[in-house]
Amino acid sequence: MADEIDRRILRALHHSPRASFRLIGEVAGVSEQTAARRYQALRREGVMRVVGLVNPEAHGLARWITRIRCRPDRVASLADALTRRPDIAYVGLASGGSEIICMIHSPVDAARDDILLRQLPKAASVLDVSIDLLIHPFGTDSFSGWGGYGGHLTPEQVDLLTDDRSATPTGPQDPPGAEDTPLLDALAEDGRTTHTRLAELTGWSTARVARRLAALESSGALSYDIDLLAERLGHHLNATLWLRVTPAHLRQVGEELAGHDEVAFACAKSGEDNIMVVVTCRDAEDLYRYLTTRVAAVPGIDAYSVSIRVRRLKQAASLIAHGRLIPSSPA
């Protein structure tokens, strides 16, 4: 089980995924060598992975929240097929294992049937499908917003980690090209890969690597996420809340919920339930506490339902196998 030092290191990476070990050690209260050793142990044990992610919007793609209800005896094979597709993320089983919830990347003007035919294997085991457009993310634009594991830093320490990072893209649009593939593949495997190693893998100079990373990051085409295995941090219950909120309260509700430590991700979406919230709690009693205190205190929620994720199969860029995070594609 991770201790307080590990949690402070994770918190530092949450704020600055590519921060130096010297800086991480400084805010975690340990030496640079200890910070590096602890990080490598967490990564080696499959508790966490820092990954580089390409924004699907850079390629003209939207994100579609997809719920697939299946025959329970066939759900495993279908979920496995979806999990291994690079254009599908955040795959999990819910509703006692008979429903797959995932995120599909596809053009915003794609017809519903086109999305299904292109992305889903043909299977008589599929009983029902709903596909809704992710309209707007609240808070962080990724699923790394969960902060329930502790290790909180002071505002001064957060400033130290983030003083050279812009919260929003500031540069011109600069979508990745074919020449960026080796660079992006390496960062998908390890988002903390050094400039020197990236230069070796791409055949570029370190200066060119630095310039290209700066351009991709400032345009919003490239970002970094932290895949965490919450179970290894003592949080064993994962749930998705489907909220019904009037348009007048949509932004207020979404932003307030996104700020909760229990929340990994919140977004506005199309469909009858117009806000989706992904939460991580210690157990059922912890979820009950969260629903009856923090969620209950948010005005504007007219109705809600809860899907319990009984198994997570894929996060941003990691598969979950045998209780460990592993790369979603071979290194």
Question: Which CATH number does the domain 235-310 belong to among 3.30.70.920, 3.30.360.10, 3.40.50.300, 3.30.470.10?
Answer: 3.30.70.920
Residue 222 confidence (pLDDT): 95
Residue 174 confidence (pLDDT): 82
296 token code pair: 């209950």
Residue 3 confidence (pLDDT): 94
Confidence check: pLDDT of 70 > 50: yes
- How many whole angstroms separate alpha carbon 57 and alpha carbon 265? 18
pLDDT confidence of 32, banded at 50, 70, 90?
A: very high
What value does the mean pLDDT take over residues 97-119?
76
Residue 6 confidence (pLDDT): 97
For the chain, domain boundaries: 235-310
- The pTM assigned to this predicted structure is 0.89
Confidence check: pLDDT of 219 > 90: yes
Q: For the chain, where are the alpha helices, taking DSSP H only?
A: 4-15, 21-28, 32-44, 75-83, 112-119, 155-162, 181-189, 195-202, 206-219, 250-258, 284-290
Residue 285 confidence (pLDDT): 98
Range in 74-78, 108-112, 279-283 the model is least confident about: 108-112
On whether the CB atoms of residues 32 and 25 are closer than 8 A, the answer is yes
- The amino acid at 137: P
Instruction: Tell me what percent of the residues of the chain surpass a pLDDT of 90.
Output: 75
**Residues 60-69: tens digit of each pLDDT:** 899 999 999 9
What value does the mean pLDDT take over residues 110-128?
65
What value does the mean pLDDT take over residues 296-301?
97
35 token code pair: 């910070």
Residue 299 confidence (pLDDT): 96
**Residues 124-180: tens digit of each pLDDT:** 678 888 999 999 999 876 656 788 899 999 999 999 999 876 666 676 778 899 999
- The amino acid at 85: R
Burial of 89 (C-beta count, 10 Å sphere; 0-12/13-18/19+): buried
Residue 146 confidence (pLDDT): 85
pLDDT confidence of 87, banded at 50, 70, 90?
A: confident
Instruction: Tell me what percent of the residues of the chain surpass a pLDDT of 70.
Output: 92
Confidence check: pLDDT of 117 > 60: no
Greater confidence (164 vs 188) lies with 188
Residue 331 confidence (pLDDT): 46
Greater confidence (79 vs 197) lies with 197
- Please provide the size of the chain in residues: 331
DSSP per-residue codes, 14-30: HH-TT--HHHHHHHHTS
What value does the mean pLDDT take over residues 202-210?
98
Confidence check: pLDDT of 73 > 60: yes
